[in-house]
Chain A
Amino acid sequence: MKPPVVAYAAYTGPLGAWPDQLARLADGYAPVAISAVDQALHHLRCNPTLMLAIQVDRDTTFLEPVFNLIESRMPDLPVIGFVREDENALLRRFSGLSFYFKGKIVSARRLHEEIERAFHKFGDGGELNSISPGMLLQLIEMERKSCTVRLFDSERSRNGTLFFRDGCLHDARLLETRGRASALEIASWRQPSIWIENYCPDRPDTIGLRNKAILVEAMRRQDAVNAAIPPPAVPDEKDSDHRLMENGGRSTKAGATIPKDQEMSPRGGAVNGSPLDRVAAALPAADVGSEPQLASLAKQLSLAGSIMEAGRLRCGFMAPADRPNRFFVCLDETVGIRIPAGHRREGVLDLLFRMS
């Protein structure tokens, strides 16, 4: 899901063709076109909005309630304004909250260009797509950065903003709410899109906790949510028998029957079956296990793939200073593998790469 950008046309009458034109041009964001003031207020209060583009034709009464809401509740929201000269007085009143004001009303193409430019501006400290907010908290603390971080979580379709001063989280916003609860919610998102702006407005500290404390509490909440998710439904016996007969099967050397749908696919990946079983079958001498810590580390290490533009992490080898060496392969779950000495690393990695 792409991050939503609201285009609010504060004027009466039909919107014309520009919403459709903008939707066609938009790449990397999802435009939402709104013309009624009530609808705009409701949308800003209840839906994720990463940026607001405003066009004003004549009646400024359509503009003021929206600006009042932004000023009081979401002053970090980037606003692109396209207005006539005679509305400049109103805009000056709200100048503290507006990043981009560009003059008179424009075409959809111009609006698109300004939205792209605004994304670039509020991502001037970096754009990240494959790290968790928890990692981000640690990184910013380490670098003692002062910045504004905007996040969009496509899983839950939510966006939020974190504010850091000298590496410490001191404010957070989620829709209209601010403070510690918002920070905890945002810190528990798994892999949001992140834009870092190298600027932090002067805001009071609403958090009152160190980054590490926020992180630990967010992880505890995430674990609680994960524990509450029911396991996948097991098909009933009749279904299983039916599928086995339908697919046929093959015998292993040990005489066990493996359903055909658990065999290796022509591309080298298994069509079905537990990832652990598949790796164990491919590497009979190996000690194979599912390790949550390793899975978490592998997920974080996959960051390098996005920096290198090398795609998804498929497998790897690691030699920790304080633990035994191990291979891993990223299937439906990350499987850790310990192999007795004597195996060629190249050969094992080649096999795991073809499996994944």
Chain B
Amino acid sequence: MHAIFKDALDVSGVQGVMLYSKEKKLVYSAFNRPVRTEPEKSVEWTLFVSLIGGLNELELLFEKGRLYMRSTVIGPLIVLMEHGPSSLVRLTTELIANNLQDPRVRKALRV
């Protein structure tokens, strides 16, 4: 796991993190538990990412879970989580977004 995502993944209730490029390619993903649809193989996540292209921030509340997205210099950063306060997730993704501006971090992520 890349260190800059650790804080977000350690937040209580967070199920996983995905970072996509602006070209809708998966750059990074890590999950605290197995998921039904692996993003590497999923057409569905690519489709979802194509829908959120014009958004700086998005928060969706479903019956049984929550999705938070914020745009970064690389592309959309998506956090999947259980219901609960999202302020800590917003803070950690803010830090990730700042870290992604560092060319060394981008090089490590091969973008």
Question: Residues on A close to B: CB < 8 A?
Answer: 125-126, 128, 131, 135, 138-139, 142-143, 196, 297, 300-322, 325, 345-346, 349, 352-353
Apart from the given pairs A301-B48, A346-B86, 4 other A-B contacts in the complex at a CB distance below 8 Å: A126-B42, A143-B46, A303-B44, A304-B60
Could you list some 10 contacts between A and B, CB below 8 A?
A: A135-B47, A300-B51, A304-B67, A305-B63, A308-B62, A310-B66, A311-B64, A314-B62, A316-B59, A320-B55
Q: A126-B43, A126-B44, A196-B43 are in contact. Are A319 and B57 (CB under 8 A)?
A: yes
Complex Cα distance, B59 from A325, in Å, reads 12
Instruction: Give the docked Cα–Cα distance between A311 and B64 (Å).
Output: 6
Q: Is the CB of B55 within 8 A of A346?
A: no
Chain A residues near B42 (CB-CB < 8 A): 126, 307
List CB contacts (< 8 Å) of B25-84 with chain A: 35-37, 42-48, 50-52, 54-67, 71, 80
Q: Which residues of B contact A303 (CB under 8 A)?
A: 44, 47-48, 51
Whether B47 lies near A308 (C-beta < 8 A) is no
Contact of B58 among A138, A317, A346, A352 (CB under 8 A): A317
For window 78-104 of B, CB contacts with A under 8 Å fall at: 80, 85-87
Q: Which residues of B contact A135 (CB under 8 A)?
A: 47
Interface of B: prevailing SS: mixed
A305 to B45, CA, bound (A): 11
**Residue among A301, A311, A315 making CB contact with B52, cutoff 8 Å:** A301
Q: How far, in angstroms, from A311 to B65 measured CA to CA in the complex? A: 8
Neighbouring A residues of B36 by C-beta, 8 Å = 307-309
Complex Cα distance, B85 from A345, in Å, reads 10
Within 8 Å CB of A301, what residues of B? 48, 51-52, 58, 60
Contacts of A325 in B (CB 8 A): 57
CB A351 to nearest CB in B, in angstroms, measures 11
Q: Within 8 Å CB of A126, what residues of B?
A: 42-44
Closest to A138 in B: B50
Q: How far is it, in angstroms, between the C-alpha of A301 and the C-alpha of B67 when the chains are bound?
A: 10
Give the contacting residue for B61; candidates A142, A314, A319; CB below 8 A: A314
The 8 closest A-B pairs by CB, nearest first: A311-B63, A310-B65, A310-B62, A319-B57, A305-B62, A316-B60, A317-B59, A319-B56
Given contacts A139-B47, A301-B48, contact A345 B59 (CB under 8 A): yes
- Across the interface, which residues of B come within 8 angstroms of A346, CB to CB? 85-87
* Nearest A residue to B63, CB-CB: A311
B54 near A307: Cβ-Cβ < 8 Å? no
For the complex formed, measure the closest distance between the CB of A248 and the CB atoms of chain B, giving whole angstroms: 32
**Which residues on the B side are within 8 Å of A319 (C-beta)?**
55-58
For the complex, what is the distance from the CA of A352 to the CA of B62, rounded to whole Å? 12
Q: In the assembled complex, how far is the CB of residue B111 from the closest CB belonging to chain A, in whole angstroms?
A: 20
What residues on A are CB-neighbors of B55 within 8 Å? 318-321
